[in-house]
Amino acid sequence: MATPLLTKNQTLVMDALSHSEGPMSAYTILDKLRDHGFRAPLQVYRALDKLLEYGLVHRLESLNAFVACTCPHDHEHDHGVTAFTICEGCGQVTEFHDAAIEQRLSALTRAQNFKTEKTTIEIRGHCQSCA
C-alpha cells in the first residue's frame, strides 16, 4: 500500500519526531504540540498508530518511546526486520537492517512452526562517544 496523505495531526506528530534528536515518549510529543492545539494523549496515540502502520515511525519497546524511521527507502514496501542500537549515555538511536539476522531468525521460527508478525530487536549500551 502506498502511504496515504497524512492528516493534520499525523503531520504534526511526524514533524515533531523528524525534527527531534532522539526518541520521544507520547507524552513528550504531546507537550511539544500543545501550542498547536493538542490537549490529550489520545491525539498523539491515534496519530502514532497510523504512522506506525505506514512504517514512518518505529516504537522502541524498551523505552516506551517512538522514533522517525531513518530508512532511505520510500516506505512503499515492507521493512523486514528492523533493529536498533540505543545509547544509554546520549540517547542516540541507530536503525539498521541485516539480511543474515533476518534469515537466521526466519529459520529458527520456521523450525518451531511459529508464524512471525513482528520482530523487535533492541540493543542497549553505549555508543562510541559515550563508551
Binding site for Zn ion (CB under 5 A): 69, 71, 87, 89-90, 92, 127, 130
Q: For the CB of residue 105, give the shortest distance to DNA in the complex, in Å.
A: 24
List residues near its own copies by CB under 8 A.
61-62, 83, 85, 87-88, 94, 96, 98, 100-101, 104-105, 108-109, 112-128, 131
Spatial contact of 13 and 27, defined as CB atoms under 8 Å apart: no
CA distance 89 to 129: 9
Q: Return the residues of window 3-62 that contact DNA according to CB under 7 A.
A: 4, 7-10, 25-28, 37-43, 45-47, 50
Q: What distances in angstroms separate CA 64 from CA 19, 24, 32, one per listed residue?
A: 19, 9, 17
CA distance 124 to 41: 27
Q: For the CB of residue 114, give the shortest distance to DNA in the complex, in Å.
A: 23
Q: Find cell 537466521 and name the residue.
A: 104
| Amino acid found at 74 | D
CA distance 45 to 27: 9
Q: For the CB of residue 39, give the shortest distance to Zn ion in the complex, in Å.
A: 30
The entry of DNA, its own copies, Zn ion, none that residue 71 binds, CB within 5 to 8 Å by partner kind: Zn ion
Q: For the CB of residue 90, give the shortest distance to its own copies in the complex, in Å.
A: 12
